[in-house]
Structure 1
Amino acid sequence: MGHSQAEKAASRERVLRIAARKVRAEGVSRPGIADLMKEAGLTHGGFYKHFASRDDLIAQASAAALAEGSAKMERAARKNEQDPRAGLVDAYLGKMHRDSPATGCALVTLGAAAGRSDQHFKEAYEKQVRTYLDLLTGLDDDSGAFGDDFEQARAEAMLTLSALVGATLMSRAVADPAFSDELLETVAGRLKQHGSRASAA
């Protein structure tokens, strides 16, 4: 790759990275081309060298934002060697994740947009939901919580993921900080308690 092509690829990646952070923090309707290009240190006129349209950029940025979450969830699970599932729950329902939507899980911020979007966006969202479900199911398989009952482990993963995403969404949306904390702490506690009971059984 020539120097100019390498620079172009680096510039495109920078815009995409900034846009992915913006859609996680603000949703898909807010980021404007001019602001994104300015933050990337590029001119507004150069945008179309990298992307066909704003919709093209937002679609790619949303897919990138969704995909970035997998590695973070896996790292969170690995931090607690004794109970990886609890480690994941603690990280996801922690105040740091709640207070950092720009670097947090895009399932929370992009769910409503995906529901109103085209098939391509829905497929990207679904792919990430399925990836998280596979991760959670694998954690339960590793713990032996459900023996060989894959369907039960899968159902538990669906319940857990729904609680994680829903509690985070609500904790960011409510006005009372104490209530926000209570939502996170209560759901995290119940999920871990539920997981412990399943393992014991």
Structure 2
Amino acid sequence: MGHSKADKAASRDRVLQIAARKVREEGVTRPGIADLMKEAGLTHGGFYKHFASRDELIAQATELALTEGTANMERAARKNEEAPRAGVIDAYLAERHRDSPGTGCALVTLGAAAGRGDQHLKEAYEQQIRTYLDLLTGLDEDSEDARAEAMVTLSAMVGAMLMARATADRDLSDELLKTVADQLKRRTPGTPATAD
């Protein structure tokens, strides 16, 4: 008995979502077809009904992983109406984000891969940087330095998260997140200084 188009689309979406999570957790080289299909509850042989190749799946999963972060940042900005940039900083540099790379920002995981990757990966990574910069710039649109502040904020957040995840000492990891968040918020107009 054949699968309906809706079932096939749901299966494809499930594999893509799992691959996007794995890309955020492990990068672009590790996820294997057999493991992805098994986790999706599908057979290895069924893979080619959904994707022409592993490269196609990883490219689509990478784009999905990158773009899903935009909705998270937009939500964080809306949660803090008085200081939306501070809301983004707090959400991004949270322990929860550090401890959940599978649902976190793919800029952290994919930076090195994009630097070494093909043109398609570089373009997808660049597009996500531009999207985040536009979002952050829009939060400070009254500032004439909004674009520069957006670049500093994004660079510091991604760098701090990368180092916090790569640090074995939990206290140092926490300190990195807190210190960078506090320093970035000090640069944010209208944000009260954090009490130490």
Q: Which string of whole-angstrom CA distances, capped at 9 and with x for unpartnered residues, describes residues 44-87 of structure 1?
A: 00101111111110010000000100010000111111110101
> Do structure 1's residue 179 and structure 2's residue 182 form an aligned pair?
no
Residue in structure 2 matched with residue 13 of structure 1 by the alignment: 13
> Do structure 1's residue 99 and structure 2's residue 114 form an aligned pair?
no
Q: Which amino acid aligns with 1:89?
A: I
> Do structure 1's residue 170 and structure 2's residue 157 form an aligned pair?
no
> Do structure 1's residue 191 and structure 2's residue 184 form an aligned pair?
yes
SS in 1 for 2:188: helix
Alpha-carbon offset, residue 196 of structure 1: 3.1
Residue in structure 1 matched with residue 43 of structure 2 by the alignment: 43
TM-score (norm 1): 0.92
Alignment: residue pair count: 191
Alpha-carbon offset, residue 198 of structure 1: 9.7
Unaligned runs of 5+ in 2: none
SS in 2 for 1:28: coil
Alpha-carbon offset, residue 32 of structure 1: 0.6
Asked if the contact 2:86–2:191 (Cα under 8 Å) also holds between the matched residues in 1, the reply is: no
Alpha-carbon offset, residue 197 of structure 1: 7.7
CA distance in 2, matches of 1:137, 1:188: 17
Instruction: Choose which of 149, 158, 167 in structure 2 pairs with 1:156.
Output: 149
CA distance in 1, matches of 2:16, 2:3: 20
Alpha-carbon offset, residue 3 of structure 1: 6.1
Unaligned runs of 5+ in 1: none
Superposed CA RMSD? 1.6
Asked if the contact 2:85–2:139 (Cα under 8 Å) also holds between the matched residues in 1, the reply is: yes
Q: Which string of whole-angstrom CA distances, capped at 9 and with x for unpartnered residues, describes residues 100-159 of structure 1?
A: 000000011011111111111111111100000000000011xx3x1xx2xx21111001
Q: Which amino acid aligns with 2:114?
A: A
Q: Which string of whole-angstrom CA distances, capped at 9 and with x for unpartnered residues, describes residues 165-195 of structure 1?
A: 0000000001100000000000000000011
Q: Could you say which structure has the higher helix fraction? A: 1
Residue in structure 2 matched with residue 25 of structure 1 by the alignment: 25
TM-score (norm 2): 0.94
